[in-house]
Structure 1
Amino acid sequence: MAKVKPFKAVRATRDKVALVSSKSYEIYETDHLNAKLDFNPYTFLHVINPGYKYHQDKVTGEQRFKLVHNRYLEFKEDGYFTQDTKAAYYLYKKITPNETFCGIIAATSVADYHDDIIKKHEGTLHERELLFEDYLKNTGFNAEPVLLTYPDNDVISDIVKKYQAQRAEYEFTTTDKDLHFLWVINDDEDVVKITEAFRNIDTLYIADGHHRSTSSCMLAENLAKNNPSHDGTEAYNFFMSYLLPESQLCIYEFNRFIRDLNGLSSEEFLMELDTIFKIENKGLELYKPKEKHQFTMYLDGNFYALTLRKSAYEFSDALSKLDAQILYQTVLKPILGIEDIRNSKKIIYSQNKSGGLELKTKVDEGSFKVSFGMLPTNIDELKSIVDGGALMPPKTTYIEPKLRSAITIYEF
């Protein structure tokens, strides 16, 4: 039973939201970020990059977080942000040139995370957890929701359709040609229906935002310990999430690029692979896997089709059937000597939305010796692995939608 509730969001005024909201600041390269800061006084990037006001690029740590809080207060004082007076759910729709996403922004429970009602599919780095917890503690807000997914639900779907037929509170287009809508759901009857519908859902799955959710839970524990009046209703007992039905989630694969063959020649490497895979040389033909347990490999100017020899590999659980895990267990670790796939400098990852051509171009440029591609993981695989108590290998899934900052802001 998932505990989901409405909240009083801090939001940009309707006339400024297109200028205020931004992509996650980590996405921007330096020149692009500076251009945004130079020419848009309303962008939320000014809040996240507070040192820009003082022409200081190197403000870090707790000092930076306190300045973020100060810039945030300035945006509120200047009237760029206002807070809703009534708790609401927020229906957010994003239309890209290729996809449409429509889900509900809500407050989700820290207790559900601890009780495994909200489940994660990948591990986190403790250093990043601590860093973001410190950020939340000093700023007092979160402007980027965690992306959660849930089984399609008729009750929620009917309410979503009802509001999409009405005029949106926000409707704006961004320069990447994405169209954004936001509806405020604060009708008492609809709020109750949404709350009860989620209460009847057994499990929510984190699709994106693992560090944010973990850090929010860490902060809640610490604040609760230091609050003698703690009763579980405080805002810090929840974190902001964007809840999207499973049918709308888009999952892409990550390609793997390896810098060397661990001392092997190309011929020796192919001979090692031959014991595990059926190998077909496709030459310059861009090969794409057609089913699970097939892989694309690019080596020495040729594409190869690799098909797992089932006699050479044992399926023991859901994780063992995952293509990313198969590649790690049969090639990356035993042959190429890559033990720590999260931190090894011998491997990099790149999300595959370009149709696989990058597998060739990055290797041909000379920085890498071999590359691998595979089919994307599907939601059923993700859920079966998580429900079995396992975590997926790093860089297994690239999941969309990627959400903008400051569409709604959650204070605690």
Structure 2
Amino acid sequence: MATIRPFKAVRPVPEKAADVAALPYDVYNREEAAAAVYGKYDSFLRVDRPESTLDHRMNMYDPFVYEQAAKNLQKLYDRRVIAQDETPSLYLYELVMDGRSQVGLVACTAIDEYLDNTIKKHELTREDKEQDRIKHVDACNANTGPIFLTYRGQEDINGIIAETMKNKPVVDFTADDGVIHRVWVIDNEETIGRLVEDFKKVGNFYIADGHHRCASAVKVGLMRREERPDYTGDEEFNYFLSVLFPDEQLAIMDYNRVVKDLNGLTADAFIEALEKQFDVEEKGTEPVHPPAKGTFGMFLEGKWYLLTAKEGTYAADDPVGSLDVAILQNNILIPILGIEDIRTDKRIDFVGGIRGLGELERRVGEDMKVAFSMYPTAISELMAIADADLLMPPKSTWFEPKLRSGLFIHNLD
């Protein structure tokens, strides 16, 4: 049984929402974050990436940086850019990209349901990344970035959401990237009660994006429990900020790979090694978008190739091994290119599909040797793997559009 809970969101005043809303902290490197906040004093990225407002020589994990995050958050309160709602509410958050709409319910979800696997995971997390967000959440005393969850869509829930959207949204703006963002407030107690009951029938939630944010939010909640052994379970720190989207509305983009070298092989020897497990077809200079599962584009020495996995390369009934990211990993990245740990090896990098295949060509021309374009993972594959309590290889999914941070904040007190 999955639980949702209304909360008193901290939100931008409507006329400031577009200025506050920021892409998630982890889509930027340090230099990009500093450039993004320059001259934008209301940008929530100043809270999520506080080092972007400090001297570039400062260690971004210094305790002072997390103190600065809390200070930058307080500045938004002081300037009356953000304020807390007086009534516990649920919220709708619609994103429209290229004419495609997805509508999520903004609510709090329970840390206990993360711990008991009602909220299902499909990726491992890294301790260093968890520690960064734990310190950030703890310093701000708030969940500042929503966890992107999905669930198997329900007709009753869809009906309530559609009825609510007949009202005028309280926030409606188009971001610089062309994505439309709209927000509705659900503060009617009867409607909230119906949604709470309907979500109990959903069964499970699935983390689509934000595994590190989720794990960190849970660990901060557990820390607060240790500090307050008389806790009742009703305190806000027992819950974390989430946006829940029905599975049928979500689209996963390709998450492509670039590798720095050929592990000592010449290009001809590398292709010869590939041909043991793949049909390799030279395509020239036109970028290759893989046409189906089991196919890959490859850019090497100015040429594109189509790779097609041969029969027997993978077991079709293996939910993890049959993922394209796993086929690439198990047949090329590890055995041929010698990349043993995909999560930590500095010779590999990952490029979200939103950047286009031209970005793969640019990286190969600049600092990499070979690039692979991927066929997108399906949401059904993600859910099947999570249901089996299995894990996907790192960087298997890239969701667009990205949820904006700063539109909803959940205080832990």
Query: Given residue 88 of structure 1, which amino acid in structure 2 is its aligned partner?
Result: S
Q: CA deviation at 1:306?
A: 1.6
Distance 1:82 1:299, change over 3 A: closer
For the Cα contact (< 8 Å) 1:276–1:313, is it kept in 2?
no
Query: Unmatched 5+ residue regions in structure 2?
Result: none
What are the residue-to-residue correspondences of 1:15-26 with 2, within 5 Å?
15-26=15-26
Query: Given residue 395 of structure 1, which amino acid in structure 2 is its aligned partner?
Result: K
For the Cα contact (< 8 Å) 2:30–2:52, is it kept in 1?
no
Q: Distance in 1 between matches of 2:399 and 2:205?
A: 15
For the Cα contact (< 8 Å) 2:6–2:88, is it kept in 1?
yes
Q: Out of 67-76 and 45-54, give the one that drifted further.
A: 45-54
Query: Given residue 241 of structure 2, which amino acid in structure 1 is its aligned partner?
Result: M
What are the residue-to-residue correspondences of 1:1-400 with 2, within 5 Å?
1-27=1-27, 37=37, 39-48=39-48, 58=58, 60-315=61-316, 317-353=318-354, 355-363=356-364, 365=365, 367-400=367-400
Distance 1:269 1:132, change over 3 A: same
Aligned twin of 1:408:
408
Q: Distance in 2 between matches of 1:254 and 1:300?
A: 21
Q: Is the partner of 1:68 in helix, strand or coil?
A: helix
Query: Unmatched 5+ residue regions in structure 1?
Result: none
Q: Is the partner of 1:104 in helix, strand or coil?
A: strand
Q: Distance in 2 between matches of 1:38 and 1:253?
A: 31
Q: Is the partner of 2:344 in helix, strand or coil?
A: coil
For the Cα contact (< 8 Å) 2:297–2:372, is it kept in 1?
yes
Q: CA deviation at 1:310?
A: 1.5
Once the two structures are superposed, what CA deviation does each residue of 1:315-367 show, in whole Å capped at 9, x if it has no partner? 4621111111111111111111110111112211111235534444433x153
Distance 1:152 1:140, change over 3 A: same
Q: Is the partner of 1:336 in helix, strand or coil?
A: coil
Q: CA deviation at 1:22?
A: 2.4
Q: Distance in 2 between matches of 1:68 and 1:80?
A: 16
Q: CA deviation at 1:263?
A: 1.7
Q: Distance in 2 between matches of 1:132 and 1:71?
A: 16
Distance 1:90 1:275, change over 3 A: same
For the Cα contact (< 8 Å) 1:170–1:181, is it kept in 2?
yes
Once the two structures are superposed, what CA deviation does each residue of 1:203-260 show, in whole Å capped at 9, x if it has no partner? 1110111011101111111211221321111111110001111112121112211222
Q: Distance in 2 between matches of 1:82 and 1:389?
A: 40
Q: Is the partner of 2:321 in helix, strand or coil?
A: helix
Query: Given residue 23 of structure 1, which amino acid in structure 2 is its aligned partner?
Result: L
Q: Distance in 2 between matches of 1:259 and 1:28?
A: 21
Q: Distance in 2 between matches of 1:34 and 1:160?
A: 38
For the Cα contact (< 8 Å) 2:254–2:353, is it kept in 1?
yes
Q: Out of 115-124 and 46-55, give the one that drifted further.
A: 46-55
Q: Is the partner of 2:312 in helix, strand or coil?
A: helix
For the Cα contact (< 8 Å) 1:51–1:57, is it kept in 2?
no
Query: Given residue 406 of structure 2, which amino acid in structure 1 is its aligned partner?
Result: A
Q: Out of 156-165 and 34-43, give the one that drifted further.
A: 34-43
Distance 1:22 1:366, change over 3 A: closer
Q: Is the partner of 1:4 in helix, strand or coil?
A: coil
For the Cα contact (< 8 Å) 2:48–2:144, is it kept in 1?
no
Distance 1:293 1:187, change over 3 A: same
Q: CA deviation at 1:36?
A: 6.0
Query: Given residue 138 of structure 2, which amino acid in structure 1 is its aligned partner?
Result: K
Work out the number of aligned pairs and report it.
411
Query: Given residue 230 of structure 2, which amino acid in structure 1 is its aligned partner?
Result: S
Q: Distance in 2 between matches of 1:225 and 1:61?
A: 25
Q: CA deviation at 1:387?
A: 1.6
Q: Is the partner of 1:319 in helix, strand or coil?
A: coil
Q: Distance in 2 between matches of 1:315 and 1:144?
A: 37
Query: Given residue 403 of structure 2, which amino acid in structure 1 is its aligned partner?
Result: L
Q: Distance in 1 between matches of 2:314 and 2:31?
A: 48
For the Cα contact (< 8 Å) 1:143–1:407, is it kept in 2?
no
Q: Distance in 2 between matches of 1:79 and 1:142?
A: 19
Structure exhibiting the larger radius of gyration computed from Cα positions: 1
For the Cα contact (< 8 Å) 1:132–1:212, is it kept in 2?
yes
Query: Given residue 363 of structure 2, which amino acid in structure 1 is its aligned partner?
Result: K
Q: CA deviation at 1:311?
A: 3.1
Q: Out of 228-237 and 352-361, give the one that drifted further.
A: 352-361
Q: CA deviation at 1:87?
A: 0.6
For the Cα contact (< 8 Å) 1:155–1:193, is it kept in 2?
no
Distance 1:212 1:347, change over 3 A: same
Q: CA deviation at 1:64?
A: 2.4
Distance 1:96 1:70, change over 3 A: same
User: Normalized against structure 1, the TM-score is what?
Assistant: 0.92
Query: Given residue 42 of structure 1, which amino acid in structure 2 is its aligned partner?
Result: D
For the Cα contact (< 8 Å) 2:137–2:144, is it kept in 1?
no
User: Normalized against structure 2, the TM-score is what?
Assistant: 0.92
RMSD across aligned C-alpha pairs, in angstroms? Answer: 2.3
Q: CA deviation at 1:173?
A: 2.5
Q: Is the partner of 1:311 in helix, strand or coil?
A: coil
Q: Distance in 2 between matches of 1:99 and 1:208?
A: 19
Distance 1:284 1:42, change over 3 A: closer
Q: Distance in 2 between matches of 1:253 and 1:52?
A: 29
Q: Distance in 2 between matches of 1:216 and 1:116?
A: 15
Once the two structures are superposed, what CA deviation does each residue of 1:38-63 show, in whole Å capped at 9, x if it has no partner? 54443334444667888787375322
Q: CA deviation at 1:146?
A: 0.4
Q: Is the partner of 2:22 in helix, strand or coil?
A: coil
